[in-house]
Structure formats: structure tokens, C-alpha cells
Amino acid sequence: TTIMAVQFDGGVVLGADSRTSTGSYVANRVSDKIVPIHDFIWTCRSGSAADTQAVADYVKYYVDAHSMELGRLPRVRTVANLMRKICYNNKDNLMAGLIVGGWDPYEGGQVYEIPLGGTIMRQKFALGGSGSSYIYGLVDSYYREGMTREECEIFVKKSISHAMARDGSSGGVIRITTIQSTGVQRQCILGSDVCMAMRWNHDYFYHGLNQRLKDG
Amino acid sequence: MRWEEEGMKQNAFIMGNKLMGSNPHAFSLIMPSIPITHTQTPYVTGTSVLGIKYKDGVLIAADTAGSYGSTTRYKSVERLRPIGQNTLVGATGEMSDFQTILQILDRLIITNAMFDDDNTLGPPDIHSYLNRVMYNQRNKLDPFWNTLMLGGVKNGVKYLGNVTMLGLHYVDDHVATGFGIHLAQPIFRNEWNEDMTLEQGTKLLEKCMLVLFYRDRSAINKMQIANITEDGVKISEPYALQTKWDYEAFSNPTVGNEGSW
């Protein structure tokens, strides 16, 4: 798995690959690792699929009740804290690495990472999953402060495609979710576009990307 | 009502409650025949914390790295935190356990403030409390995987001490945790004295942090120093130290002895 989230001014971009493996077999090549917790708060899941699905379902249930009682949109911080509570207190029985990304009207776009053990870390961008090891260098050199939404999306696509190229446990399609105050947009980057990392044909790749960006 | 109780038990089980026990059998009425043990391995860890007393108070330093095994996964972890008005806690070890301890201490400070009797908790009080927390967790064979350093000044009395994950606690004029015990403490023993000024104290700590950066695999060159005086706690912004790599012998170390290291 490779999962990633980047914060920009006014929202977040969440990205993930789509491979679920059972040993050497790819059980699901088009899985969806980005799950909605609330309207503007989504989570990327990595680790045991069962554990992360269970934790996400519980948090979704609690946040649903919480926001109904509150009568407003929940804070991303609250969702992340609930997730952390479950992961920390059940640390002996869970294998879950989660990234919570979302937008709320109080603090704007936020990214929180909850690795194994249940630490909570707020960051400008977060990486997770087995494939993340391969792209720490890329991400460190490519990231800069104050990127726009489009730049963040390119950043996420580029990084995840490089991770998918090298990590056996990551592959398939790249799923991107962009959350802003205006709404949530989901994208799915298929096959040929993911070949960024393979560099079959440098010019075609760049031309194709720019074209696709223009087309939106 | 019974169903409410059942609901709360379910909730408590899911949410877990570390102080009640994260094993479902903790709720069982039947005593287990073998003690419940939780193997705990640290995941996200912080490395050494160093502390010394000086003329006007206490100085504590730590870097801002959160390691995940051998990877430096997080580069901006705040391992030094103020507690109340007069105390600072620094942590080595598992960061999730440290975050939980901070919540516990938060509860302690707030409960104490609610008494509304102008009595605040000072460093010795918090040290004692932390020791009880760590020791009791250790007795349940479910330790908080941390070594905590505590420093502060209250009513003119300077205080500096450690609490380990086994519940061992002690105070001294200069303390260290983790790698600092082996690399920094000997330097403290040689160079510390009672009447150090702020500059001298800072220099001593920076010297030791530099040694740790050179020789501790999990350390990074981004550190914070906290200064606790009677006026309160001040934690600096993270900064880097000047390193020295330009010794002549370093550029060609194997000359005359090719193949050596």
C-alpha cells in the first residue's frame, strides 16, 4: 500500500494506490483505500484491511452521532483524535496505519497521521503504507510550502506512481480525493497515466499530463 | 439501567481505556488463572533528553526527531512540554505513550485548579505523581514505554529528576536519558558546576547535543532548549548546531593504511 495526504490553503489532497494482497496473490486490484468519515473528512487506510475497515466504521459511527449532537460540521482534529483513541487503546490487537485528511470551517485543511502504536502527528503532508519507504527521498526534494491545489495533485500522483513502480505491495490505479470548502472531488488515474514512473516516453508523458490537466 | 451499563461497557471496550485495561477479560468477573500480559514494542520513538541545573533555574534540551525503527519518520516532534506554570516534562521512548501521559497530566492540573485554593502543583509533586503512574502501569506488566525527565523551579527551589518506565525515579543536579546517559553524563560530571550562567549552561548542553548528533544514530541536528526559571517555562524554537567535519584527517583517513576504516 502507498497512501499520502497533502494540505494546501483551503483543503487537502488524499491519494492512495489500489492493491490489496493476500501473501503473493493480489486479492483486489482496484480497492478503494480512501474512506469517507464525514462530508469533508476522509481517511486513507493502510495495514490490515480488516482492522482499518473496523476502526473506520466505528469512527464514522461516533462522528455521525457527534456532529448530529453538535449541530455543526465536526472538526478534523476531533475525528483524528477519536481514531487515535481506538488505535492507541487497542494497540496490542491492531495493525493500522491511518492518515486523516479533511477540511473544517475552523482551521481549514488539515492532515493528521496515526502510525502503528497510536501516536498522532499533525503534518503538512503525510506518507504511509509499505510503498512510502521508497518515496521519502522524492517527497523531501519535491515538496515546497504554499503549493496550490493543482500542484498538490500532481505531487501526489507523481509520488504514488513512483512508489507503485518499486513496491510489490502497491499497484493498480491511483485514487485521488480532493477536499475543499466547495466540495469533494474524486479522481481515478488509470493504467497509462500511472506510467509516469516508468518513463516510457518522456515527451508523451509530459504532453499527456498537461493535456489532461487542461481537460480537468 | 442494565442496557445502559451494557452500552457503556461496549463503548469502553471499543474505545478502550488504558487505565482500566485493554483486554476484554479485564471486565470478566472470573479471575483469570494466568496474569494478563501485553507485549509492547515501541513504534515511534524519541531519543535522548538532557537536563542541568544552573544558577537561575533548569535547562533541558532535546532534539525534535521521531524515529520509526531506523527511519527518521517525523522531524518536528515536540518532546519538551510545559506542565502548569513551573514544570517541564521531556520524554524519551514511545511517543503515543507520551501523548497519553500528557493527557493524564492535563487532567491532574485541571483537577487541581478546580480546587481553586491558589495552590499549584510544583515539580516535586508532578514527579511523585508521574512515578506512581509509571510504577503502577509497570505492575500491570503494561508499561508506558518512556523515560521522562522533569525539571522546574518553584519558590526558589530548583528541581530536576527522571522517571523510567519501570517506575524508578531519582533527582540530581544533572540528568540524561537514553544515549545521553552514556555520552552526555560523563561530560556533565566533568564540566558542570553549581554557579553556571545561562550562557555557560546552554554551551554545555549544546556541546553534549553535538556529541549525540555525531554518535547517536537516531538523533538529528534540530533541537530545542527549554529554560525554566522562577518566571516560568520558555521553550526555544527548533535550531541546528554547527558541526565540524573539516579535520584534515577526516578527508583522507586511510592514507598510509589503505583498506582500513
Identify all chain B residues contacting A93, using CB atoms and an 8 Å cutoff: 22
| Chain A interface disruption, residue of B39, B96, B103, B137, most A CBs within 10 A | B96
Is pLDDT of A34 > 50?
yes
B42 part of contact set with chain A, CB < 8 Å: yes
Handedness of CA B188, B166, B108, A100 (dihedral sign): positive
pLDDT confidence band for B40 (50 / 70 / 90): confident
Report the pLDDT value the prediction gives residue B4, as an integer from 0 to 100. 58
Q: Shortest Cα distance from B120 to chain A (angstroms)?
A: 29
Q: What is the pLDDT of residue A200?
A: 43
Would you list which residues of chain A are within 8 Å, Cβ to Cβ, of chain B? 58, 84-86, 88-93, 115-121, 123, 133, 136
How much is the average pLDDT of A108-114?
A: 97
pLDDT category at B12 given cuts 50, 70, 90 is: low
**Residue B29, CB half-sphere, CA atoms under 13 Å: how many?**
0
pLDDT for res A175: 95
Q: Considering only alpha carbons, which residue of chain B is nearest residue A120?
A: B96
- Whether residue B9 has pLDDT greater than 90: no
- Asked if A88 lies within 8 A of B16 by C-beta distance, the reply is yes
- pLDDT at position B261: 76
Per-residue confidence band for B252, with pLDDT thresholds at 50, 70 and 90: confident
pLDDT of residue B81: 97
* Residue in B16, B22, B74 nearest the CB of A121: B74
> What average pLDDT is seen over chain B?
89
Q: Do B43 and A117 touch (CB under 8 A)?
A: yes
pLDDT of residue B171 exceeding 70: yes
pLDDT given at position A165:
87
pLDDT (0 to 100) of residue A203: 46
The confidence score (pLDDT) of residue B63 equals 96
Q: Do B22 and A89 touch (CB under 8 A)?
A: yes
Contact B77 A121 (CB under 8 A): yes
Contact B96 A58 (CB under 8 A): no
pLDDT in tens, A130-155: 999 999 999 999 999 999 999 999 99
The pLDDT value recorded for residue A65 is 97
Query: Residues of A170-188 as b/e, b for ≥16 C-beta within 10 angstroms?
Result: bbbbbbbbbbbeeebeeee
pLDDT for A216 beyond 70: no
For residue B105, how many C-alpha atoms fall within 13 Å in the half-sphere facing its CB?
28
- The answer to which of A87-96, B12-21, B52-61, B139-148 has the lowest mean pLDDT is B12-21
Give residue-wise pLDDT tens across range B209-231: 999 999 999 999 999 999 999 99
At B10 the pLDDT is 64
Contacts of B12 (CB under 8 A, 6+ apart): B20, B27
> Which position has the higher pLDDT, B215 or A190?
B215
Q: Which of A116, A133, A136 shows the shortest C-beta gap to B43?
A: A116
Taking one residue from A and the other from B, the number of pairs with CB-CB distance under 8 angstroms is 58
For A119, which residue in chain B has the nearest alpha carbon? B96
Beta carbons of A117 and B99 less than 8 Å apart: no
Q: Is a pLDDT exceeding 70 seen at residue A210?
A: no
Hey, are the CB atoms on B15 and A86 less than 8 Å from each other? Answer: yes
Mark yes or no for CB contact B18/A89 under 8 Å. Answer: yes
Q: Please list, in sequence order, all residues whose beta carbon lies within 8 angstroms of the beta carbon of residue B27, skipping any fewer than 6 positions away.
A: B9, B12, B13
The sign of the torsion formed by the CA atoms of A207, A19, A42, A87 equals negative
- Confidence label for B178 from pLDDT (cuts 50, 70 and 90): very high
Range from A59-73, A161-175, B141-155 carrying the lowest mean pLDDT: A161-175
Which chain B residue's Cα is nearest to A89? B16
Whole-number pLDDT of residue B6: 61
Q: What is the dihedral of CA B23, B77, A105, A57, to 10 degrees?
A: -20
Instruction: Tell me the nearest-neighbour CA distance from B137 into chain A, angstroms.
Output: 14
* B45 belongs to the catalytic site: no
**Average model confidence (pLDDT) across chain A:** 90
Residues of B in contact with A117 (CB under 8 A): 42-44, 94-96
Percentage of chain A beyond pLDDT 90 is: 81
Cβ contact B68:B44 at 8 Å: yes
Which residues does chain B have within 8 Å of residue A90's beta carbon, measured at their own beta carbons? 16, 22
Residue A38: C-alpha distances to residues A15, A34, B40 (Å): 17, 12, 33
Per-residue model confidence as pLDDT tens digits over B68-81: 998 999 999 999 99
